Amino acid sequence: MTNPFNNLYHTESIPADRFVEIFSPVLLRESKTHELFQPGSVVLTGLQGSGKSALLNLLKPEVLIAYKNSSEPWPLPVHCSKFLSASIVLRSSGALDFGQRSISEEVDSNKNILGLFFGDYLNYWIVDDLLTNIELLWSDRGAKLADFIGAEISETKLNNFAQKLKKDSCWFGVLDNVDTFHALRKVISNRILQYESFLNYNSDFPKSLNFTKTKPGDPIGSIADALKSSGIIPIDLPIFITIDQFEDLMDLERDNGELGTPIFRSVIMRMLGNRDKRVSYRVGARPYSMLKGLQGFGNNSFTEEGREYELVDIIKILRGGENRRTLFQDLCEDVFDRRLRFAEFDCLPKGSKLTYLFGKRASAEDKVATFIRDSGKRVISSDFQVSPLIKNALSEVSRTNPISAKLGEAWTRQNIDSIDISPELIMSEPWQSKVWWKKERKQQALMQVFSTCRQKLVWYGAPDIVLLSGKNIFVFLSICQFIWAEYLRSTSESSQIFPKGIDPLTQATGIHSASEYWFRKVRAEPKGGDDRHRFANVLGTAIRDRLTRDKSMSYPGRTDFLFPLKILRRLAM
Amino acid sequence: MTPIELQRKLQIWCQEDYDGSIGISDIKKDIEFLSRELYNEYDVTKHGGHGDFIFRLARWIGSAETDDDQKSLFVLLRHLIFFGDNELDAAYRTAFSRHVVSWLMNDQKLNVFSTTADADLKSILNRTLLTEITDSFGLRSFLGKNNLHGRPRYTWYAHRKSWQRQQFIDTEIVRNLGENISHIVLFEDFVGSGSQVEPFLKLACNVDRNIKVLFCPMYICPAGAQLALRLQRQYRNFSFSPVLEIPQKCFITKNAIDGEHPDFPTIRKTANVVHPKVVIPGSPQDFGPFGFDGVNQQGATGGFIVTSTNCPDNTIPLIHRRRAGYWEPLFLRTSREALEVTP
């Protein structure tokens, strides 16, 4: 039996025809995400693994073609289906090699020039990808999509397009000798190769680049114009340019000692701030990389959300609100379901596979009954200074309901000085009628029971797993991966028959392993991971101790803490 | 016990280790990794019906009767030192390039900056006899890994009953290296108390007091190191240079000592409890719960060491001894001496 969750980043590593099987369209139910597929620039933010890259992948022509050829329906309305796109993933494009080799003393002393070279490299890379996608539409494989978006591509038109293009002054003469589409492609790829060759120490810096640097975004707009005026694509067809992993530029800026001036990020903000109607940008970024009022490169104009670009925040989309249900539960269900089908499991049940496998919500009472043996003898605190009769009455309650007994202890501690508490009153469990009082303290009671009985607190069941995922699909998959790995170690089943449920102990062990893994991961992160690890450790221990020591449960929500602003300011300096 | 039963038990132990103070979860994670990446290198159980590590682990843990002893065996794994094939390769390379070459250069006062340094070293090497004490070292493999061609091969243990000084000089030295031999090196893969190697080291030192002798074990326990240092004081022509000396804190002693690892009292208790199951009490090969102690009665070695080629006798017997119907080993040892027949 295989672990269907072994590859957490499936959507980034599988071919397009399989992507359509595994991609979950649940997030697209939120109309805010449709802005990615309509004209206008968009910044898509979300934490690691929140699904940014998967959403941006939908813009790729290969994926559109795969949808055309598959039984999976295109997951968006018709008005979000026709566009031409190009994309650059900063980490894998070579753009992050900038700064690993000094171009010249002049560039070292004036980082703006380095920004211009970086922008020039981005321009050419994106243009190259756009032309590659035009060639894809021209091929047999892309013919169906070309028809759908209204593209009409021929060699004559392409050559005509190349000749129109070279007349644009934004190229600074680089295309002067280009007469055919083939020659155009050669010049563009050669330009990229010149940069790569230099950055990899295979050649000196080509002098010609000093005099032909292009403005951020200009050549891309030029290409869009020429494609339309040559009749290759319809006048009204939107062109989307995707730039993913924006946050990686912060490392590049740090390596260049320029964290104070976000030189590389501002190049991209300049592209957004151009208000160039010819192309729309989609930038995939982690939230921390989007500083408020990030300036556009070179012109010091601020690029503003709502004016130059729309912000689509996956965290907000998944957070839900007072009046609407969060999409995260549905996303988990769908992703889980698709993973299992992708792994070709047999005998998949109908309905929620998540609930089928992990079970329904386990109450605090269920958890105690499943995990704690002889809890009745140990639940009531030994240091509880109260008459033996009352203590015995609480112990009696704990025989049948340890959680109620623990709540009873808290209730007794809270009321012992104000009302007359008798063993009979305890046996009638008056706290059970205080619905809100009880609800707010149940988890704390559970924690105290497990702590008293020297057991780790447990989580299991589908709702717990979704809750622990913290609205992050990557974390959800990771938890599933660990639980499944634990299940594989504890079963002799080798076929691909879907299990008839995974028992609570296996789930709890897997969840603890996932938790340890993520906690270690914090420490391994660069840029203060070790400090954050210690902070979380101290904080977690302090909160846990506070909750377990508070035997009267007088303040169950006491998990907040104050952080003086002056300390934050000092840290930011 | 089956692997599935063991897995269940581990889950319960993890759950009961509520504050992580025992570290069951960490050991479990490490073992899952090492069983895949390292423990499968163990030669003795690679073939035959021994089963993968995870099966042997389950049978081994299941050999103990109580839950506490089973948990104690599992905790013992935290202290297991497994020298795999890659570690042995590295030790071979280090033994030659760092220990043998440095010893020869220091002894001959070679100038490393001299233009003839390389030729001078080759000349000394041609007057050096490289030998192994027992065949478990793998001299042939050592020579291959260090790219040493046309060297004679000599195993001291093979001549233990018929060794004669003159015959050794005539056949091993004069015939192979000529009259001008200057150095002898004795290698061994693992040395516990040193009782097994001591006679051969003395023989080598007494061949000719003008011949320098180097003893270079790959891994050595504290008792063996002490013995070698004693010989170094006794014989002026003897040097000792181990690749890795395993510190005393990695060994469990018969009686508790100050500053020992907090796991050791529990492991000691379990070792004593299960010992009558592991070995037929009072049999000739019953060296006690803490392993072979050599002939000097200095106290058992109490090791947790396993090499990919075999498990040394100095390692506590509950790890490597089999007694059908009573005890299943984790890393079965192949012994030179036939073990007693189980009744």
Instruction: Convert the pLDDT of each residue in A484-530 to its tens digit.
Output: 999 999 888 878 889 999 999 999 999 999 999 999 999 988 778 89
Q: Which of A450, A451, A512 has its CB closest to that of B14?
A: A512
Nearest Cα of chain A lies from the Cα of B16 at a distance, in angstroms, of: 5
CB contact under 8 A, A513 and B29: yes
SS3 B277: helix
Residue with tokens 């499943």: A370
Report the C-alpha gap between A344 and A496 in whole angstroms: 7
| CB contact (8 A) between residue A455 and residue B18 | yes
Q: Does A505 touch chain B (CB under 8 A)?
A: yes
Over range A534-552, report the average pLDDT. Answer: 91
- The answer to whether B43 faces chain A, any CB pair under 8 Å, is no
B-interface mutation test, from A456, A460, A537, A541, most B Cβ less than 10 A away: A456
- pLDDT for A561: 78
In the predicted structure, residue A39 carries a pLDDT above the cut 70: yes
Q: Which of residues 344-403 of A touch B (CB under 8 A)?
A: 371
Distances from the Cα of B105 to the Cα of B71, B98, B125, B142, angstroms: 51, 10, 10, 20
CA distance B15 to chain A (A): 5
Across the interface, which of B15, B16, B25 has its CB nearest the CB of A516?
B25
pLDDT value at A292 more than 60: no
In A, minimum Cα distance to B54 occurs at A489
Nearest to A255 by CA among A246, A244, A243, A263: A263
**Between chains, do B3 and A489 touch, taking CB under 8 Å as contact?**
yes
Q: Which residues does chain A have within 8 Å of residue B11's beta carbon, measured at their own beta carbons?
A: 486, 490, 505-506, 508-509
B200 vs B284 pLDDT, higher one: B200
Taking the Cβ of residue B67 and every Cβ of chain A, the question of whether any pair is shorter than 8 Å is answered with: no
User: What does A153-219 look like in DSSP terms, one character per residue?
Assistant: --HHHHHHHHHHHTT-GGGTTTTTT--SHHHHHHHHHHHHHHHHHHHTTSSPPPGGGGG-PPPTTHH
pLDDT tens digits along B209-245: 899 999 999 999 998 999 999 999 999 999 999 999 9
What is the model's pLDDT at position A442?
94
From B259, B250, B247, B254, select the one nearest B303 (Cα to Cα): B250
Tell whether B29 is within 8 A of chain A (Cβ): yes
Residue B305: its H or E element: strand B305-307
**Residue contact B14–A455, C-beta within 8 A:** no
User: Rounded to a whole number, what is the distance in Å from the CA of B58 to chain A's nearest CA?
Assistant: 12
Q: CA distances (Å), B65 to each of A25, A48, B1, B23, in order?
A: 54, 48, 11, 22
Q: Which residues pair with B239 in a beta bridge?
A: B214
Q: What stretch of H or E contains A405?
A: helix A402-415
Written as one string, the DSSP assignment of B186-220 is EEEEEESSSTTTHHHHHHHHTT-TTSEEEEEEEEE
Tokens 């549905």: give the residue.
A330
- How would residue B55 be classed by pLDDT, with cut points 50, 70 and 90? very high
pLDDT of residue B297: 44
Q: For position B293, what pLDDT does the model report?
A: 66
Residues of B in contact with A505 (CB under 8 A): 8, 11-12, 15
pLDDT (tens digit, 9 = 90+) per residue, B2-43?
Answer: 999 999 999 999 999 988 899 999 999 999 999 999 999 999
- Percentage of chain A with pLDDT > 90? 62
Indicate yes or no: CB of A491 within 8 angstroms of CB of B4.
yes
pTM: 0.83
Secondary structure (3-state) at A350: coil
Say whether A456 and B15 touch across the interface (CB within 8 A). yes
> Cβ separation of A489 and B7 shorter than 8 Å?
yes
Residues of chain B contacting A492 with CB distance shorter than 8 Å? 4
Residue A81 contacts B where some CB pair is shorter than 8 Å: no
Q: Which residues of B are less than 8 Å from A450 in CB distance?
A: 18
Please indicate if any CB of chain A lies within 8 Å of the CB of B5. Answer: no
| Nearest CB to A490 within list B8, B14, B16 | B8
Q: What value does the mean pLDDT of chain A take? A: 89
- Contact yes or no for B8 and A513 at CB 8 A: no
- Residues A317 and A35: their CA atoms lie apart, in Å, by 13
CA distance A485 to chain B (A): 11
A-chain residues near B30 (CB < 8 A): none
Closest Cβ opposite residue A505 in set B3, B11, B29: B11
Q: By percentage, how much of chain A surpasses pLDDT 70?
A: 93
Q: Which of B18, B52, B53 to mutate to test the interface with A (most CBs of A within 10 A)?
A: B18
Query: How close is the nearest chain B Cα to the Cα of A3, in Å?
Result: 16
Q: How confident is the model at residue A323 (pLDDT cuts 50, 70, 90)?
A: low
How far, in Å, CA of A268 to CA of A45, rounded?
Answer: 15
- Distance (Å) from the alpha carbon of B28 to chain A's nearest alpha carbon: 10
Residues of chain B found within 8 Å of residue A451, distances taken between Cβ atoms = 18
Judge whether residue A140 has pLDDT over 90: yes
pLDDT of A377 over the 80 cut:
no
Calculate mean pLDDT across residues A133-138: 97
Say if the Cβ atoms of B11 and A454 lie within 8 Å: no
Could you tell me if B125 lies within 8 Å of chain A, comparing CB atoms? Answer: no
Q: A457 CA to chain B: closest CA distance, Å?
A: 8
Rounded to an integer, the average pLDDT of A93-102 is 81
B4 at the A interface (CB within 8 A)?
yes
B81, with CB counted inside 10 A (0-12, 13-18, 19+), is middle
B7 in contact with A at a CB cutoff of 8 Å?
Answer: yes
Residue B271 structure tokens: 């070792």
> Cβ separation of A491 and B25 shorter than 8 Å?
no
Whether the predicted pLDDT of A36 surpasses 60: yes
**Cβ–Cβ < 8 Å for A120, A215:** no
Of the pLDDT bands very low, low, confident and very high (cuts 50, 70, 90), residue A106 is confident
- Residue A567's pLDDT band (boundaries 50, 70, 90)? confident
Mean pLDDT calculated for residue range B193-201: 92
The predicted structure's pLDDT at residue B295: 44
Give the nearest partner residue to B4 out of A451, A492, A505, using CB atoms: A492
Q: Is the pLDDT of residue A572 over 80?
A: no
Least Cα distance to A125 among A191, A184, A170 occurs for A191
Nearest CA in chain A to B20: A456
pLDDT recorded at residue B343: 46
Dist. CA B60–CA A79, nearest whole Å: 66
Calculate how close chain B gets to A456, using CA atoms only, in Å.
4
Across the interface, do A509 and B15 touch by the CB < 8 Å criterion? yes
Span A440-461, pLDDT tens digits: 999 999 999 999 888 999 999 9
H or E element, residue B244: strand B244-245
Q: Is the pLDDT of residue A391 over 80?
A: yes
- Separation in Å, CA of B325 to nearest CA in chain A: 25
Query: pLDDT band for position A101 (50/70/90)?
Result: confident
Structure tokens at B41: 């290198």
Place of tokens 């290969």: A62
Nearest CA in chain A to B5: A490
Question: With 80 as the cut, is the pLDDT of residue A261 above it?
Answer: no
Question: In chain B, which residue's Cα lies nearest the Cα of A504?
Answer: B11
Start-to-end CA distance of chain A, whole Å, equals: 53
CB contact, 8 Å: A266 with chain B? no
Which amino acid type is present at position A313? D
Summarize pLDDT for B282-313 with one digit per residue, the tens: 887 788 898 876 544 445 678 999 999 899 88
Q: To the nearest 10°, report the CA torsion of A418, A421, A426, A427.
A: -150
Count CB neighbours of B191 within 10 A.
27
What token pair was written down for A317? 């989309």
Quote the pLDDT of residue B149.
Answer: 84
Residues of B in contact with A454 (CB under 8 A): 16, 18
The pLDDT, as a whole number, for residue A309 is: 83
pLDDT bracket for residue A475 (50, 70, 90) = very high
Alpha-carbon gap: A367 to the closest alpha carbon of chain B (Å): 13
Interface contact B16, partner A, CB < 8 A: yes
Token pair, residue B181, equals: 């031999």
User: How does residue B262 score in pLDDT terms, banded at 50, 70 and 90?
Assistant: very high
More confident residue, A234 or A385: A234
Gap between the Cα atoms of B159 and B120, Å rounded: 32
Lowest mean pLDDT among A239-243, A524-528, B146-150: A524-528
Mind telling me how many Å the CA of A282 is from chain B's nearest CA?
A: 41
A457, A450 Cβ separation under 8 angstroms: yes
